[in-house]
Amino acid sequence: MHIPDGFIDGKTAAATALLSAAGVGLALRQVRRRLPPRRVPLLGLAAAFLFAAQMVNFPVAAGVSGHLIGGVLVAALLGPSAAVVVLTTVLIVQCFLFADGGVLALGANVFNMALVGAVGGCAIYHGVRRGWPGRRGQVAAVAFAGWCSTVLAATCCAGQLAWSGTVAWSAAFPALTGTHMIIGVGEGLISALVLLAVLRARPDLASEPGDAASPGRGGELVRYGLLAALGLALFVAPFACPWPDGLESVAARLGFEHRAAPPAIAAPAADYQAPGVSWAVGATALAGAAGTVIVFGLAGLLAWSLVPRPEEKARAGKP
Amino acid sequence: MIDHWIGHYHRGPDTVVSRLPASLKLGVALAIIAGTVLAPPRAAGWYLAVAAALAGAVILSRMPMRFLLKRLAWLSPLVLGVAVANVFQPGGRGNWPTVAVKSMLCLATIITVSNTTPFSHILRVLRAVRVPALLITTLALMHRYLFVLAEEAERMRRARTSRLFTRPRRARWRLLSTVVGQLFVRASERAERIYGAMCARGWK
């Protein structure tokens, strides 16, 4: 989902760069204040780990394979602010060393994957954990949050491409969000399995490093939430409002409707296509809503089947 | 082997381009990329000039052409996707040729710079432009241990395949996740050792 240079225009690049700079600045300040110096090298190592982990291929079917994206996993293991720093580091190295993702698009990529993907996923993770404590809840939460973060980041990416005028929202949203609803299932599953493996090997590593700092977490997440909401209001909201009048009215208000006006020849076709296109957008949104419920159920089932019941473990540990 | 695997052409020959200061190269690259992204769709002159300058830099740096073309081919699925999306677009703006040209030029620019400039020099430039020290430390550590951990993952994969006679179909994902989980555990244990080493050398 790395956006290369040339796919987004100047205004999108500038807006996302500003939002990302604010978010990364906030994350660095939080980390400097809260993270004990003992754990500072862990940020670099976690970034290197994420990079190496992304090269482990999970076979899906018929030659297709996927890999971990890992934003939510890192956020669950290290906390949201550390995850933002780690993901930003990974994105900078991928951009400057491997030319993966554009330089001017770096702000957009950081916004999508670190601020919306990882922090948004982290908020969902903590929300689920609050309602479902224990190890089972933790595994279910990371699986569900992994799916949500992938879909959220893809929706943001579609919004940026549409705002730049590269691809119309009616094409970008179903294509990107639709595929990532499938990719997200793999991401959620891998995140849960990896978290479980870490819990088995070193339970202390996965047991909420931020617990001591938890009083501040609410405020921390709220500040990231404000930044993410600002971005979503820019890229996604204009398109997601009641379709298609919302977009037209926004276009008219901002005075750029003439740019969107199709050439005279295509006029009848454009009129004809609009309902079909909005149908695809509506169907994707509906699938997303239904998918959220289904995936939550699946995450619960996964945790149920993978994690032994606490009583059994206590009984097994007794003799 | 790892370098080949990751797709990074590690250290090139010592040429005129690789001897230029990193700040100059990064500045010029940034100017080229910004100019290309912001250029109007029909600025053919600018695109041609950038392409000519890049071709010159690539020839001077003696970077293998095949490597560059292989990396550029990575973009093609995205460009193809935009092309398909443009066909289904109601207004039919049809801007994908511009997007394709712009992204190809930007990608070629950054590939040329990243393969003629050591990453530590890039970090020095970032430090000079006042990027926060914590981010620089994290970047430096990541770059240092990137190849170490990638090799570790490869060793674990080899050890696993050498111990398994059959190809387990159903437990495959669980096995692979154990490898990834173990990789995280090893990375954090290594981080603790590194912290001790850093303190021993007077890091604060």
ipTM of the complex in this document: 0.88
- The residue in chain B having the minimum alpha-carbon distance to the alpha carbon of residue A86 is B138
CA B113: distance to chain centroid? 11
- The residue in chain A having the minimum alpha-carbon distance to the alpha carbon of residue B126 is A92
Q: Indicate the residue of B146, B172, B181 with minimum beta-carbon distance to A48.
A: B146
Q: How far is A19 from chain B (nearest CA, A)?
A: 16
Q: Which two tokens stand for residue A44?
A: 């670099």
- The residue in chain A having the minimum alpha-carbon distance to the alpha carbon of residue B183 is A49
pLDDT (tens digit per residue) in B29-67: 999 999 998 888 778 888 899 999 998 888 888 888 888
Q: Is A141 helix (H, G, I), strand (E, B) or coil?
A: helix
Q: Is A65 helix (H, G, I), strand (E, B) or coil?
A: strand
A151: buried, middle or exposed (CB in 10 Å: 19+, 13-18, 0-12)?
Answer: buried
For the segment A192-206, the average pLDDT, to the nearest whole number, is 89
Q: Which helix (H) or strand (E) holds A97?
A: helix A80-98
Q: What domains can you pick out in chain A, each with its CATH number?
A: 10-209+219-309 (1.10.1760.20)
CB A44 within 8 A of CB B188: no
Domain ranges of chain B: 2-127, 132-200
Instruction: Please name every residue paired with A61 in a beta bridge, in sequence order, or none if there are none.
Output: A64
Cα B157 to Cα A53: distance, rounded to the nearest angstrom: 12
Q: What is the pLDDT along chain B (204 residues), one digit of tens a residue?
A: 344 444 454 556 677 787 888 899 999 999 999 999 888 877 888 889 999 999 888 888 888 888 888 888 877 788 777 777 777 666 555 677 888 888 889 989 988 888 888 888 889 999 999 999 999 999 999 999 998 998 998 898 888 888 877 766 777 888 889 889 999 999 999 999 999 998 999 877
Cα A226 to Cα B94: distance, rounded to the nearest angstrom: 35
Q: Are B184 and A90 inside 8 Å of each other by CB?
A: no
Banded pLDDT at A282 (limits 50, 70, 90): confident
Give the whole-number percent of chain A exceeding pLDDT 70. Answer: 80
- The residue in chain B having the minimum alpha-carbon distance to the alpha carbon of residue A277 is B90
**Nearest alpha carbon to residue A34 among A299, A260, A177, A219:** A219
From the candidates A11, A16, A28, A45, which should be mutated to test the interface with B, based on the most B CB atoms within 10 A?
Answer: A45
Give the pLDDT score at A220.
80
The pTM score is 0.85
List CB contacts of B66: < 8 A, sequence separation 6 or more: none
Task: Name the more confident of B3 and A68.
Answer: A68
Could you tell me how many CB contacts below 8 A there are between chain A and chain B? 250
Instruction: Please name every residue paired with A288 in a beta bridge, in sequence order, or none if there are none.
Output: none
Q: How far is A274 from chain B (nearest CA, A)?
A: 7
Q: Indicate the residue of B37, B110, B119 with minimum beta-carbon distance to A10.
A: B37
For the segment A23-28, the average pLDDT, to the nearest whole number, is 94
Residues of chain A in contact with residue B145, where contact means CB-CB under 8 angstroms, are 44-45, 48
Cα A262 to Cα A74: distance, rounded to the nearest angstrom: 45
Q: How far is B45 from chain A (nearest CA, A)?
A: 17
Give the least confident one: A52-61, A241-250, B29-38, B101-110: A241-250
Q: How many CA atoms lie within 13 A of B164 on its CB side?
A: 14
Q: Which two tokens stand for residue B68?
A: 């560059």
From the candidates A39, A97, A173, which should be mutated to test the interface with B, based on the most B CB atoms within 10 A?
Answer: A97
Q: Are B110 and A96 inside 8 Å of each other by CB?
A: yes
Q: Are A7 and B99 inside 8 Å of each other by CB?
A: yes
Largest separation between any pair of C-alpha atoms in chain B: 65
Cα B141 to Cα B133: distance, rounded to the nearest angstrom: 12
